[in-house]
Amino acid sequence: MGKKNCGLRQKKREGFKTQQKKQRKKRERGIDRQREQLPSPYTGNKYRTEELVLIHFHTEIGIYESFMMSDRQMTDQTVRSALQTLILQMRRGSLAPLETREDDAHDTYTDIGDDRDMIIWNVRRKWRHLFQTQPDPGRDKLIGVLRTILGSIDVWGSIDPNSRGYLHYIEDFLNNAGVHVEAYSSEEEMLRAIP
């Protein structure tokens, strides 16, 4: 009778271990899904190379122009959310074509929606112009640049939902680099970067 009980206990332990493994795998899948939903900031130097410096520069000009278009009302959290959304869209391969008007020499976006959409549109527009003269480094490096900028938002911003620390930092940085943005009105509000 003792051997029978021992065998039952062994089966129960095995069943319990199997159940624990299933629960651990389920938790790990959940963590993977969370990582998929919110791309993490990158703080290393892998994407701070000479090859990618122009991409960083043009990406931050796109963010800065969007900040100016919002009359400086945009927050670091909006930028973070926009970049995370753009990364997810790029990973899924679900980026829609940029909207432009054929009769206008400038790119326009007449149905921007919210500030987050404006940032995504403006960054992509800057990339498109850059890649007319420079080689496109590929999706993975572009995502790396965006994740590096997410890291900069964490460094220069704060946990306050109204923080604009990162946005003020890039405004100062770009102004010191000779980039000035002016908003002007015609039929639609447009921006031009003045080097």
Q: What is the mean pLDDT of the chain?
A: 81
17 within some domain: no
pLDDT confidence tier of residue 12, bands split at 50, 70 and 90: low
Considering only residues 103 and 190, tell me which one the structure prediction assigns the higher pLDDT: 190
86 within some domain: yes
What pLDDT score does 105 carry? 43
Domains contained in the chain, number = 1
What pLDDT score does 117 carry? 92
Q: 83-122 burial, b for 16+ CB within 10 Å, e for fewer?
A: bbebbeebeeeeeeeeeeeeeeeebebeebeebbebbbbb
Going by C-beta distance under 8 Å and a sequence separation of 6 or more, which residues neighbour residue 80? 150, 153, 157
9 within some domain: no
32 within some domain: no
For residue 167, what are the domain limits? Answer: 50-194
154 within some domain: yes
pLDDT exceeds cutoff 60 at 151: yes
pLDDT confidence tier of residue 188, bands split at 50, 70 and 90: very low
